[in-house]
Each structure stands twice: as C-alpha cells, then as structure tokens.
Structure 1
C-alpha cells in the first residue's frame, strides 16, 4: 500500500480512538454495592419469588443469558439451558427483546438506556428522569442505572408475574409505583438486609426507613462497579502495544468504513437509534392500541413515524462475550451480524438461527409476524444501512478486532455471584 495512504488510514483510526479508565465512571459506595450484589441474585425482588436480576444477567454468561429472547418469570434454569416451566407456573410469553449487556453502564457518558431509549436523564418530571413511571418514579435515585433496575420488577413477564398471582401485580396494575413499597417491605424485614442498609446509608436510622430508592441505589452501585471493563487488547493498543495482524486489519476496516460512525466514542456507541432491519420474530413489544406482534422500537417511546423500527446502538466492548446479537438476538455470531450490516435486507437468515428454547404452546406466535407481507415491507423500507463490499477475509478481520475489545479480566469480576442471599431463597 502507498505510504501516504497508509498514513491517512492509521491517522483516521487514531483520531477516532478513545480509551476509558476507572475515573470515567459514576462513583459508588462499596457497602451499598455489597447489598446490591445480594439483591441482584435474590429472588425476593420478584413477584412470585422465583426469578432474580441475575437469572437473565448472570456472571456465567458475561451479564447476559445467551438467549435470543429470554425466558422470564416462571422459567427454570439459567442461560441457554433455561426452560419455560411447567403447569400453572409455565411462561405465557417470551421476553420480547434480548437481555441487554450490563458492561460499562455506569460510564459518565451514558445518558439513555433500554433498546428503545425509554429511560433518559431529564428534569421533565422533577425526579431526574424521563421514564415509563413518569412523575411516579420516586425522587432520590442517584444514577440512571439505579432507575433502570426498578423496571424489571414491574414487568409482568420479566419479574412481576401474572394478575392474581401475588400482591405486587395487583398494586402495579393500579399504578406502576404502587408495587415498589411492597417489595421494599419484603427486603427491609429480612434482618440481615435491614442491618446492612442501616450501616450503608447515613440517612437510614432503622430498617423501617428503607424504601425502593435505597434498593435501586444499591443495585445501581453493584452494576456500576461490577461491570466495568477497560483492559482489552484494544486499550493496550491505545498506549502503544500492537494488535495481532488480523485484528489490526480489522481495526483499520472498522475506523475507515461506516462502522465507527454509529459505534463511536470510548464505548463504541453513539447512544442514538438506527433502523438496520434485523429479521423479525417473537411476540413483539405490543402497545395497548397496536396488538400486532411487532416491535417498532424507538417509535414506541416517541410516537414519531420517523423513529419506526429504530433501536439503540449497542456498545461493542466485550461484544464477543454477549452473543446472540441484535435487539432480538437474531444472529448467533459476530460474522453473521457484520454480514447483515454489509448486505441490508439480506434474505439468508433462517429461523433456526434464533436461540429460542422450545416452548410448544408459543410456537405459533414465534415467527407469525414474518407471514405479514405488509409489515415486512414496512420494516424493509425503514432500513438506513447502505450496502458495503466486504470479503470473507474482511469479515474475519473485523471479528478479530471485535474480539480485541474483550477485557482481559471480563470473566473474573470483582464481586461475582454470591453463594447465598439473606432471604434464604435459592440462587441461580
């Protein structure tokens, strides 16, 4: 390659490259994080006491579950081996979206969460956030991550359970915030938890003072401190250590093609929303006035047609550990999702590529949306991507670069999974 051209390529890559370090995260209190670690794996937070945050964001699966669409409340087991349950406890619906990664959520640059961005930092409701709870989200949550941690507890198919099964469901059915005091009382009346909160929070004089705010802040402290990652080969490259040859070729491809236009910045995300036309399947994230089994993405939050089928750009740090890929986990491999970006509207995807545990009573729903020709045409028309020429060798090099974004200590977290929790409930 001509020397001047090579210099331009390397220069562009360096200009786009940004690193992160321990000072780039929201500060956390270790005692609060310890409570959060226990609560993260304690099924006491779920309506029927049968699922925890850690069930779908498990340490054994790099903070995910390895499934395209999760098996939530009522399921049994962890990760790809999780089953749909039996009898009255069996699931009634798959989780509509892929379990999002927890890596680096506490980074100072993060100001929006969820695949559709329905939680943002904002003063619109006077509580610091624009969220599905609107003005009913309590004041005092000290981070976006703390706020995010509260919503799976109020989601029917994630952690809450079905109408009539527990008192939390009935309370949330009346108003979203009315279930949280019930959960807080469950937690604070466990003696070990009560004492831990008194020790960790200056304003908590006795266990009776504990609210969902302290629970959310503890979960946030744990998630923020536990899932930091900035020791990858790429981070070493930023300080002068060369990458392997294939990863270096992939880096140049990444930064000098359109990859870095959306996967930008130190976390490799622009925190914006794009329609890339992932293959549609699953129950969809239906809205009250729209019961078609589709997922309109960002539009569900903004109600703007221009946002139809757009989803938040995921961070690529530790992406090699968090398969399958896409908001619905459509692609099992990095090569597959890269190829999808290169060939928008590619028809080579097949349903067997989706990692969906067998649920016979939901089979008729799983791929029904693909039979709706009009809806498939709408989704195809919304695709923003433009074709790009990538050879198989190019794709292999890009995969090598994405693997170079894996932290060397990613699988050895500071706190990890606890063996037991104060409630005495089993730990997944």
Structure 2
C-alpha cells in the first residue's frame, strides 16, 4: 500500500495534460461523413479500381494494416495475410513507410501530417497548406485531414497504379493534380453518390458541381468522426476518475511523465509534440529520399525540408489506441510495445540486436534483395547510427511492464462500436 501511495503521489506531481473535449475537434457534417464512409471502403478512388483506403487503414488492425511496410496497389487480401499479387498486376514496390493509425486526426491543434511532415498548415502557396501539390492543391478543403486524403490517390504504389495502366496514373505522371478530376468524374457519374452529394454539400447544386474537393471533405468528415478517441481509461483519469487506472497503469503513467522521459516528445493532450526526432530505428525497405537520391534508404524529414540537420528524423506519433496499431516505428521495425520501448531506452544497443525476422514483411521474392540493401552500405549505416536524438534511460523489467500497462490504458473502449463501422459487402 505504501508503494502504491508513493506512485500515486508522484503521478500527481507530474505535468499531466488536460483532458480532450469537444472544443479540441473541428466540426464535421454527419451527412458528408456518411458519404465519406462509403468512399473509404470503395475501390472507385483507385486508378485500377482494385484497392481502397481501408486496405491500408482497416479497423481490424487499429486503422493500420498490421504490416511493417504495406502491400499497396496490385496486392490481394487484407492485413498480414495480404499477398503481393501475380503476373502483370503484381506489386512493383513495397509501400515505403508504415501505415499510421487514424485516431484523432480531426483535432484542431494538428498542424503537420505524414511521417516526414510533408503536409502542414502554411500560407507558402496561398492555399493554406504546404503540400506535395504546392500551388495545385484544390481550393475549398475543409481541413488538413481533407488535404491528406488526396495524396494516397495520386501515389503510384498506394492507389494510383503504374504508369500506362489507367488514366489516373497517366495524368498524375504529367502533374500531381491532373488525376483528381478523373476520379471526381467517376464519383459524380455514379448513382450511389451523385444525388447524395448534391444533398450533403451546400456548394453542389447539380452532380456536375462535384469535384475532388467534396470527395476529400467527405473522407475527412468520416475519418474525423469515426476514429475520434477521447474516452480511454487515461482520458477518464484526466477527467477526474481516479479509479479509471489500475495501480500498474498509474505506475506506468508516473514513469511516462517522469523518469522514462516519454512525455518529452509525447506531450500535450494529443500525446505528440508534432516535431521530428531521430530514433535510430533499424532501416529497411525502399524508403523515401530526396529527389534524385539513388540510395535505397529513408532520409526522413530531410526529404521534405532539404536541411541536413533533419536527416533521419520522423514525426512523433500520437498514442491513443497505440496498443492496437502494431508493428511500431515509421517503418514498423518493432513487432510489439515492449521491443519499441526497449529501443527508446537504448537505441544503439537495440539496433545492434535487431533481427530482420522482427519485421512484418510478407514474402515478395522479386523485391527481397532490395529489402535490406541499406545494411550493406557501411557509410550509410554509420550516418544513421550517429544521428540519434534521444539519450539512453535505465529502466527495470518491472518498470517496462508498467509502461506497457499504461500504454494499454490509452485504448478507448468505444473502438469496437464506432459511429459507422464497416459497410455491408466490403470485400478486401
């Protein structure tokens, strides 16, 4: 009992965040969200009509896909059972980064998205966003989340398809915005959507008025409403229910906001500082580089900022429902919370011990020679080992178990009863 009181007293002394409330989230329209719900699970938005948003962000896998690096356009199946396809339709590249969860992306305070922050709120192009589409981003987007929804549609290996396979990817190859009108035409000529969108959007008087803007806004409305998470045991504790957390979870919370220094990056009500940090994660896969960079590597924030000091840094993820979204890291290098925590505590030692079998990479024989190619480049590996922004922390096994318990306390009990759920007839 004395130990429990000591832990509870320490937790009370920490700078805990305030609880999330309705004012923290942008308002979205339910009628528009209902359209977004259908579009999210509809292959109509992919170039070859063979993949949906849900294939990489499925509720069965915590709105991720259960893989380290996803199998995108051309693959077959769902989650860890997804296969890379066959023949001319087979995948040509793994998705370069882990599919992040979609929880609380409708929060007002979010200003930056993607692992490398290549989408952010900004007036640099006069449209409210700094994005890969630069000045060609469509007008009228209702949120940062709506802008984000546009880019998987134009990505060759995610949803657009390979050049010469369809009109969408051919148009995107010319310029990033040229594919969106083709997708918008599909939607506005589809009887399932055209009248519904006329009814749901004030700026749409006839189906001819439907553009990619309304499609993106509908997707944003759906994701923001469907995957809002504010009622985890931790949230209940912050709101004043001292009994919401077990003693082990309170112990883990004390460590999180104290000795373990987790909250130095996972801070604030959203549990992210929205900044970029180099953790020395084991590299693999095709990665994302700067333009014209010939390496099979991932340079992180450097690819967006072009500042050398940003090399190998990635955005701090938010942590609501983190226990549901394994594997972990920008490339899904670690299969469970324990291994990810241990890496944070001693990145150099963890990197030295890491084994390729820890990654969740479905077999793709024609890509496997390149999967771990970066490990053969001793200069690149040395550069990555030198760039680590976090200092080691010494925790006992018992303390690590307490941290894991606390991270499970971030799981919202309502995840199994979302407002919309999966639509009838969805076939992966």
Closer/same/farther in 2, CA of residues 106 and 328 from structure 1, 3 Å limit: same
Closer/same/farther in 2, CA of residues 6 and 184 from structure 1, 3 Å limit: closer
Indicate the residue corresponding to 1:306 in structure 2. 309
Q: Residue 215 of structure 1: SS of its match in structure 2?
A: helix
Q: Which one of the candidate residues 249, 252, 264 is aligned to 2:251?
A: 249
Cα distance in 2, alignment partners of residues 120 and 99 from structure 1: 18
Q: Residue 396 of structure 1: SS of its match in structure 2?
A: helix
Indicate the residue corresponding to 2:185 in structure 1. 185
Closer/same/farther in 2, CA of residues 147 and 406 from structure 1, 3 Å limit: same
Instruction: Output aligned runs, 1:272-351, within 5 Å.
Output: 272-346=275-349, 347-351=352-356
Indicate the residue corresponding to 2:126 in structure 1. 126
Q: Which one of the candidate residues 257, 269, 282 is aligned to 2:272?
A: 269
CA-to-aligned-CA distance 1:302-349 (integer Å, 9 cap, x gap): 000010000000011100000000000000010000000101212111
Alpha-carbon distance, 1:286 to partner: 3.3
Q: Which one of the candidate residues 398, 401, 411 is aligned to 2:403?
A: 398
Q: Residue 171 of structure 1: SS of its match in structure 2?
A: helix
Indicate the residue corresponding to 2:143 in structure 1. 143
Q: Note if 1:361 corresponds to 2:363.
A: no
Alpha-carbon distance, 1:225 to partner: 0.6
Cα distance in 2, alignment partners of residues 240 and 167 from structure 1: 55
Cα distance in 2, alignment partners of residues 283 and 3 from structure 1: 47
Cα distance in 2, alignment partners of residues 157 and 263 from structure 1: 31
Deviates more, 1:288-297 or 1:329-338: 288-297
Indicate the residue corresponding to 1:423 in structure 2. none
Cα distance in 2, alignment partners of residues 274 and 303 from structure 1: 15
Gaps of 5+ in 1: 421-425
Give the conservation status (yes or no) of the 8 Å contact 1:77–1:83: yes
Give the conservation status (yes or no) of the 8 Å contact 2:11–2:253: no
Gaps of 5+ in 2: none
Cα distance in 2, alignment partners of residues 271 and 96 from structure 1: 21
Indicate the residue corresponding to 1:379 in structure 2. 384
Alpha-carbon distance, 1:192 to partner: 2.1
Q: TM-score, normalised by structure 1?
A: 0.96
Give the conservation status (yes or no) of the 8 Å contact 1:57–1:63: yes
Alpha-carbon distance, 1:6 to partner: 6.1
Q: Residue 345 of structure 1: SS of its match in structure 2?
A: helix
Alpha-carbon distance, 1:3 to partner: 11
Q: Note if 1:43 corresponds to 2:43.
A: yes
Give the conservation status (yes or no) of the 8 Å contact 2:327–2:334: yes
Instruction: Output aligned runs, 1:107-256, within 5 Å.
Output: 107-238=107-238, 239-242=240-243, 243-256=245-258
CA-to-aligned-CA distance 1:110-153 (integer Å, 9 cap, x gap): 11100000001111111111100000001100100000000001
Cα distance in 2, alignment partners of residues 297 and 3 from structure 1: 41
CA-to-aligned-CA distance 1:229-265 (integer Å, 9 cap, x gap): 1111111212133311111111111111311110001
Cα distance in 2, alignment partners of residues 4 and 359 from structure 1: 53
Give the conservation status (yes or no) of the 8 Å contact 2:290–2:304: no
Give the conservation status (yes or no) of the 8 Å contact 2:68–2:331: yes
